Amino acid sequence: MTRFALVGRRRVARTRFLTVERAYYTTPDGWVVREIVRHPGSVVVVPWDGERVHMIRQVRVAVGRPLLELPAGKLDVDGETPEAAAARECAEEIGLRPGRLTPLHTAYTSPGFTDERCMIYLAEDLAPVGSDPQGAEEAAAEHVALTLEEAAAGLADGSITDATTLIGLYALLRRLGR
């Protein structure tokens, strides 16, 4: 950033949890304007029971179809740690509470326009609890449990397309030496 200096910014829009701002930078070649989506951050959980990875198939209205994903959610509860958010999302979405969470990876979801930082956790020692879907998409979602071979096939054939799910599954495979 030493060659890009922020000279100003202003809020363009604010939603329930996102802020869009317009930022003005000087560069070696003049100046540029960029719209940036400010995001509170997110978590993704890789629930692994030793035999299967637990996922959720839910409609994503932004892309107009259901996607097979790992449980995930925003860091939108004041004072909640990322680990607590990961445990909460896992229980809400698939009805399994992790007894142990291990950080696997951290990734920026789309750094060309947003500062969203996603923390990915391996969830183990899973205990059944009542799920608590939040919103219409989660209420209509389906819990899917895949073997490692089935998950790897979904990565290979392109049927799993969510970026943070791809990262989480590859991290699990790497961790298990596959």
Strands (E) in 48-155, as ranges, are: 52-60, 65-69, 72-74, 96-108, 117-128, 142-147
> How much is the pLDDT for 40?
95
> How much is the pLDDT for 136?
79
Task: Give residue 69's domain range.
Answer: 42-175
The verdict on 84 and 158 lying in the same domain is yes
The verdict on 110 and 124 lying in the same domain is yes
The verdict on 140 and 96 lying in the same domain is yes
pTM passes above 0.85: yes
The verdict on 152 and 86 lying in the same domain is yes
The verdict on 48 and 108 lying in the same domain is yes
Low-confidence ranges of the chain (pLDDT < 70): 1-2
pLDDT digits (tens, 9 = 90+) for 67-89: 999 999 999 999 999 999 999 99
Alpha-carbon distance of 73 to 137, in angstroms, equals 13
Q: Which residues are identified as catalytic?
A: 138
Provide the terminal-to-terminal Cα distance of the chain, rounded to the nearest Å: 38
